[in-house]
Structure formats: C-alpha cells, structure tokens
C-alpha cells in the first residue's frame, strides 16, 4: 500500500470515531462494497472519506443515513464509483498477484510452524529428529483450494454487502471448500520433495518480502 493511501486510511479511521454506532454500521457495509469495486484503494478511501463526512454532517443536523445518501446504498455507491476511472489491466494484475501472495505466505507459514513444532516435540521426547519438512501433493492442492476459496469469499461478501436477508449459503459454500482443502491436505500424502526447515523459513521470508514489495506498488 502506497504512503499516501496509508495516510488517508489512517485519517479515515480517525474520522470514523465521530460517527454514531448506527452511522458506522452503514459506513462499514458501504466500505465492504467499495472494496469489491474496480477502483484503486486510494480512490476507495477518497470515497470513504467523503461518505463519512456526509454522514457526520447529517448526524449533526439530526438526519439519519437514509436522508443523507438515500435508502439504496448500493445505488449511491455505484453512482459515485461510475465517476472514477477504473484500474488498468496492469493494476488489476498487480492486485491479484498481491492477494495470492498474501494468502500463500499465511498458508506456508502455518505449514512451517506445524512442521517445526513437530520437530521440537520429537527433540524433547528424545526421538530421532528429521529436520526436513515434507511437501506433499495434498499440501499443494489443498493450498490452491484455500486460496481460491478465500478469493471467492472476499468477492462474494463485497458484492452482497447490503444483503440483509440472512442468507447463509455463502458460509456453507466456503465451509465446503475449506473441508475439501483439508481432505486434500490430509488425504494426499504423496511427498513431492523435502526441504530443511531453515531454508523453508528463508523461502517464507522471501515470499513475504515479495508480497511486501507488491503491496507498496498497489493502492
């Protein structure tokens, strides 16, 4: 995330404190929806700042959110976003790669922590210790399923931010994807290769550094 975007994000978080709980609830739904729109993070935060200020001014006059921005929050957001330039294909690609790397580094870190804890347990129990962590077919396929499920969940929740009918099908679909990923991870035990736990840590740090670099290029 670029410096100017971080600064605007910080300012918006401070500004939100001036809203009532009801105003913040409305704003949260709108921000979630904006996160799924095809505009830069910086532009999302600019829109968020303007909406926040409108809601604050309305509350000072005693007007609820519906009187300030209308009853259909999605229509209001769409009308605002329609006036903002869309991200280029390059920006979209950078954003997607960044999201994948962020999710991947979390999954790989969990895998490394689990393997390292197992090594330490064997060491303290006085058993022979294998310092090489296995990468199985299930680890790879399960990881791909988890990444796809996380990306789908983000898109779904953003597109349905204003849906209040209590539909929980999205949760069932996401849970099913997670279960499939777990089954693949535990069931497909064919080892593709092994890697020493210290170089494995180095790989995680490299992926994290790449993700950090990508984040600095993406608003």
* pLDDT tens per residue across all 219 residues of the chain: 778 888 999 999 999 999 999 999 999 999 999 998 989 989 999 999 999 999 999 999 998 888 888 888 899 999 999 989 988 888 888 888 888 888 888 999 999 999 999 888 888 887 877 889 999 999 999 999 999 999 888 888 888 888 766 557 778 888 899 999 999 999 999 999 999 999 999 999 998 888 888 777 666
Cα–Cα separations (whole angstroms), residue 180 to 26, 36, 58, 111, 137: 35, 26, 47, 17, 14
Residues 6 or more apart in contact with residue 176 via CB below 8 angstroms: none
Burial class (CB in 10 A: 0-12, 13-18, 19+), 65: buried
**DSSP-based three-state secondary structure for 129:** coil
**CA angle at 32 for the pair 164 and 110, rounded to the nearest 5°:** 110
Closest of 50, 46, 54 to residue 84, by C-alpha = 46
Is the pTM higher than 0.85? The answer reads no
């Amino acid at each position: 995330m670029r410096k100017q975007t971080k600064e605007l994000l910080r300012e918006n978080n401070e500004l939100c404190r001036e809203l009532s709980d009801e105003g913040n609830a409305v704003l949260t739904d709108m921000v979630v929806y904006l996160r799924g729109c095809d505009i830069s993070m910086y532009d999302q935060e600019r829109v968020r700042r303007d909406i926040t200020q409108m809601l604050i001014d309305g509350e000072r006059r005693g007007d609820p959110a519906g009187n300030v921005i209308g009853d259909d929050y999605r229509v209001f957001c769409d009308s605002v976003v329609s006036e903002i330039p869309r991200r280029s294909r390059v920006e979209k690609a950078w954003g997607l790669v960044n999201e994948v790397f962020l999710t991947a580094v979390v999954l790989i870190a969990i895998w490394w922590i689990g393997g390292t804890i197992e090594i330490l347990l064997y060491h303290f129990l006085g058993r022979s210790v294998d310092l090489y962590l296995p990468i199985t077919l299930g680890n790879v396929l399960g990881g791909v399923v988890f990444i796809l499920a996380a990306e789908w969940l983000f898109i779904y929740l953003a597109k349905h931010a204003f849906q209040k009918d209590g539909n929980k099908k999205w949760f069932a679909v996401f849970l099913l994807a997670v279960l499939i990923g777990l089954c693949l991870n535990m069931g497909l035990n064919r080892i593709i290769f092994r890697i020493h736990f210290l170089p494995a840590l180095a790989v995680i740090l490299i992926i994290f550094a790449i993700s950090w670099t990508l984040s600095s290029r993406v608003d």
